[in-house]
């Protein structure tokens, strides 16, 4: 197994709640989706796996290395694509990659740099200064730095936030391609990114692991719980208070609202029909049920 996490908990100093609480999972080759709302603990988990912070309890292994006791081995094994990053704007793309490779204490040839830059589509911008790059180009460069020392494990945190749809599709494809040879932990709160790249998913909510398994099984957990109906505009507020709203839209006549909802123990209103759940429905229900 490339990543093994056993009963890991983390509580930050002066924080009221645990950022992670008794998390255990393991997975091997391929892409593994880490889904959860903002503040669920995804970034904390990635930092623990990257040996950047230590857990208060539990143990985690990356590529067979203990993240606390064998940080050197862990860091040689990983490439990280952080959610928030600062590049060195005055360096050229090529220089930046050489610098990062040197900090990893790995040899780095011009051939390797070109290969990585080609993989991320920046081969024609190798000698451009980073401050001239667009948001998408910077995102590609941060991926390149994670690949430059050819690590077996990639930890990716919210990689497509702020990108336009075309760029997002390109990145998803890139991750899928990378996953052919490596282990990739893809953390995101965007459900589509997970669906498009993997069927292995883990759901974190408020520091706790609420689901781990196949996407299809996650969807199945919502079977019989999702309903559709149309609600008069004047009754909408009362409806919202009674049921968990999964999605809704106004009809063209503007007098009715088409809504997907979960009854969650309440009596299903007349006229409502059972609907096939989507992964988004399942995701929302999983979080909401946890909240309840």
Partner 1 sequence: MCAFLGAIKFEWKTQCAQRSNWLLALAFMAIFWLSFRLQELPLRSAIGFSVSTAQGLGLFGGLFIAVMSVQNLLRETHRGFDHVWSRSLPAKNYTWLKFFGSSLTVFTFSLPTLLCFLALLLFYFGSGAVLSGLKVWIILILPTFLFIISLSLLVSLLIRRNVIAALVLALIIAGDLVQNFDVTGLLAFAPYDIYTSAMIGFGPDDPFVLLNRALYLILTLLNCVLSLILSNHCLPVIANKKYPWVAAFRIFIVMSLVAGSWWIAERYLGLSRIANVPANPVGHILQKEACTLFDSYKIEFVLDETGKIISGTALLKLQPVKSEVIIPITLNSGLEMAESQVIVDRSLILSSYEESASIEREVRIDYRGEMIIPRFAYTTFYQEQDIAALGFEAGYYADSRYVFIFGTGTWHPFSECPPDSVTITIPNSYPVIYSSADTAITGENTSSSTWSTFTSGVMLLAGKYPHYVQDKAWNILLPDRLMAEDTQSLLLDTYQSAIFHLANHVSASEKLPKRIIIVPLIRQTYQQDALNIFFIPERLSFTRELIDTGNDSAEPSNNSGFVTSAALDVMTSWWCEERTCPELSNILVSRHTDIGFRQEDHLTSALLYYASLQLSREIDQEIDVGEMVGLYETALDDPLQMVQLPIMLPPESIRVLSQLNALWDRITPQDFWQLMKECRNQSRPTPIQIDEFAELVDMITGQDFRDLQGTPP
Question: Which parts of this chain interact with partner 1 (CB under 8 A)?
Answer: 47, 50-53, 71-72, 75-76, 78-82, 84-86, 88, 90-91, 95, 98-100, 102-106, 142, 145-146, 149
User: Would you say 80 or 122 has its CB closer to partner 1?
Assistant: 80
Q: What are phi and psi of 195, to 5 degrees?
A: -60, -40
User: Would you say 7 or 54 has its CB closer to partner 1?
Assistant: 54
User: Would you say 76 or 247 has its CB closer to partner 1?
Assistant: 76
Tokens of 252: 């063209």
**What strand order describes the sheet that includes 200-205?**
78-81, 153-157, 183-188, 30-35, 200-205, 208-214
User: Would you say 40 or 259 has its CB closer to partner 1?
Assistant: 40
Residue 153 beta carbon to partner 1: minimum distance, rounded to whole angstroms:
11
**β-pairing, 273-274 with 226-232?**
antiparallel
Residue 156 beta carbon to partner 1: minimum distance, rounded to whole angstroms:
11
Q: CA–CA separation, 239 vs 269, rounded Å?
A: 10
Residue 37 beta carbon to partner 1: minimum distance, rounded to whole angstroms:
21
User: Would you say 25 or 99 has its CB closer to partner 1?
Assistant: 99
Q: What are phi and psi of 157, to 5 degrees?
A: -115, 115
Residue 199 beta carbon to partner 1: minimum distance, rounded to whole angstroms:
28
Q: Where are the alpha helices (DSSP H) in the chain?
A: 42-49, 71-77, 93-103, 110-119, 135-147, 165-178, 191-197, 215-220, 236-242, 279-291
User: Would you say 56 or 76 has its CB closer to partner 1?
Assistant: 76
Residue 10 beta carbon to partner 1: minimum distance, rounded to whole angstroms:
14
Q: Burial, 164: exposed, middle or buried (Cβ in 10 Å; 0-12, 13-18, 19+)?
A: exposed
Residue 28 beta carbon to partner 1: minimum distance, rounded to whole angstroms:
21
Tokens of 227: 């309903």
User: Would you say 131 or 242 has its CB closer to partner 1?
Assistant: 131
Residue 236 beta carbon to partner 1: minimum distance, rounded to whole angstroms:
41
Q: Residue 146 in contact with residue 175, Cβ under 8 Å?
A: no
Tokens of 276: 């096939």
């Amino acid at each position: 197994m490339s990543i093994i996490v056993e009963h890991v908990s983390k509580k930050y100093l002066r924080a009221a709640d645990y950022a992670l609480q008794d998390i255990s999972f393991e997975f091997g080759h391929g892409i593994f989706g880490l889904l959860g709302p903002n503040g669920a603990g995804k970034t904390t988990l990635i930092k623990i796996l990257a040996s950047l912070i230590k857990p208060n309890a539990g143990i985690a292994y990356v590529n067979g290395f203990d993240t606390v006791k064998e940080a050197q081995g862990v860091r040689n094994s990983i490439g990280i694509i952080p959610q928030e990053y600062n590049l060195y704007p005055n360096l050229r793309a090529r220089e930046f990659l050489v610098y990062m490779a040197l900090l990893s204490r790995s040899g780095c040839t011009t051939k390797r740099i070109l290969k990585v830059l080609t993989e991320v589509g920046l081969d024609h911008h190798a000698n451009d200064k980073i401050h001239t790059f667009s948001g998408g180009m910077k995102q590609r460069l941060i991926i390149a730095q994670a690949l430059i020392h050819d690590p077996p494990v990639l930890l990716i945190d919210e990689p497509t936030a702020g990108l336009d749809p075309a760029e997002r599709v390109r990145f998803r494809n890139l991750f899928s391609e990378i996953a052919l040879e490596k282990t990739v932990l893809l953390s995101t709160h965007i459900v589509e990114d997970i669906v498009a790249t993997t069927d292995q998913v883990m759901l974190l909510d408020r520091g706790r692991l609420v689901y781990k398994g196949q996407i299809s099984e996650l969807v199945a957990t919502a079977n019989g719980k999702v309903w559709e109906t149309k609600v008069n505009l004047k009754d909408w507020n009362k409806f919202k208070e009674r049921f968990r709203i999964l999605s809704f839209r106004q009809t063209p006549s503007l007098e009715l609202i088409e809504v997907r909802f979960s009854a969650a123990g309440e009596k299903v209103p007349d006229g409502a029909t059972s609907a096939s759940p989507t992964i988004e429905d399942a995701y929302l229900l999983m979080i909401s049920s946890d909240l309840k």
